[in-house]
Amino acid sequence: MGVHEVKKRIRVLIVDDSSVVREAMRHAVESDPELEVAGIAENGREALEKTLALEPDVIAMDFHMPDMNGIKATRRIMEEKPTPIVIVSGLLDPKEASANFMALDAGALALIEKPRFLGQEQQQALARIVETLKAMSEVAVVRRRRKPEGERPETPPRVEQSIRPPKRGPFSMVCMGASTGGPQALSSILSRLPGNFFLPILVVQHIAPGFLPGLVQWLDSHTQLEVGIAEHGKRPLAGHVYFAPDNRHMGVGPGNVIKLSDSPPLGSLRPSASHLFQSAADVLGDKVVGILLTGMGHDGAAELAVMNRCGALTVGQSEESCIVFGMPKAARDAGALDLLLPPEEIASMLITIHNSSEKQ
């Protein structure tokens, strides 16, 4: 009888101050044949201690906890024992929602909604957590330098290299799609663009319902551009970034106005990058830049290929810079891309296009 290699299970550290949540997550993890519980912690300080002692493969980290919250615990872990961290948060109050995304500044990889314990909705939330933990466990993370308490994130350096796009335009809009890891990639790109950037930017970001206002606030604090949630029928303005609202498709309508839609989900997604990119191809043709960023799945890949065939400039995020090289890989495999670039070089390319427009 041959010896069969047994695949090593992914070891998960569960961190939450609620015994009900801890038990639900423990059961969800133990029910998956690819996962096992490495340990359980009730607060951030205990999470740091158990990370150092147990060396888990991935951490499910609560946001609000006594003694040390999720942001501080994430920061300390990334300084002392870098480990993939998924923030599991129930913080949806619009006044505090942007605080969730401060955990990404601290080094967390993803943010996901905490289960609400309402039957099928609870099971769906737990399933999303399990799948996210699996995906994030494979991401290589690096040690963060220790920062003084309260220090703001550093202003990203300008990229010295000028990235010249293979297509010269003229362009009238930028359309982006993103999923897992998208907030970090978007922050890297948008924070480098000048406040007088000459094009409007439309973005579809896959995110749990309720988190979008916090993402918008967080990104608005990282960029000179104006960041907001799209409204139906509005003509997008230069130097503004428009996010598709929760559970509504966003596209480009006649006259280049924003068109929101309640049409059925595409591949279980609403909003979807596929809807945005197809509308951009139909209305804008070769006068648009399409960008597909990090994320699981293949949303937007086929429609980015349509944009490319229409003469649009199409760009995917490079594999080494992605948290999950899913959507850009699907676009690459579909022959949809003119360029594969890391976020800072995508920003440089957009700045090159901006500078060229000023000379015309």
Show which residues are catalytic: 179, 206, 299
- Helices 19-30 and 120-136 pack at an angle, to 10 degrees, of 70
Backbone angles phi, psi at 43, to 5 degrees: -155, 175
Tokens 């996210």 identify what position?
132
Tokens 């002392």 identify what position?
80
First-to-last alpha carbon distance for the chain, in angstroms, is: 74
Distance, CA of 136 to CA of 270 (rounded, Å):
23
Distance, CA of 160 to CA of 166 (rounded, Å):
19
Report the relative pairing of strands 339-341 and 110-113 from DSSP bridges: unpaired
Tokens of 296: 């699981």
Task: Lay out the sheet containing 173-178: strands in order across.
Answer: 226-229, 240-243, 201-205, 173-178, 288-292, 313-317, 339-341
What lies within 8 Å, CB to CB, of 169 at 6+ separation is 287, 313, 353, 356, 357
Secondary element (H or E) of residue 279: helix 273-284
Query: Is-contact 344 310, C-beta < 8 A?
Result: no
Distance, CA of 104 to CA of 315 (rounded, Å):
24
Backbone angles phi, psi at 269, to 5 degrees: -115, 130
Distance, CA of 64 to CA of 89 (rounded, Å):
8
Backbone angles phi, psi at 249, to 5 degrees: -70, 145
Of 294, 287, 276, the C-alpha closest to 204 is 276
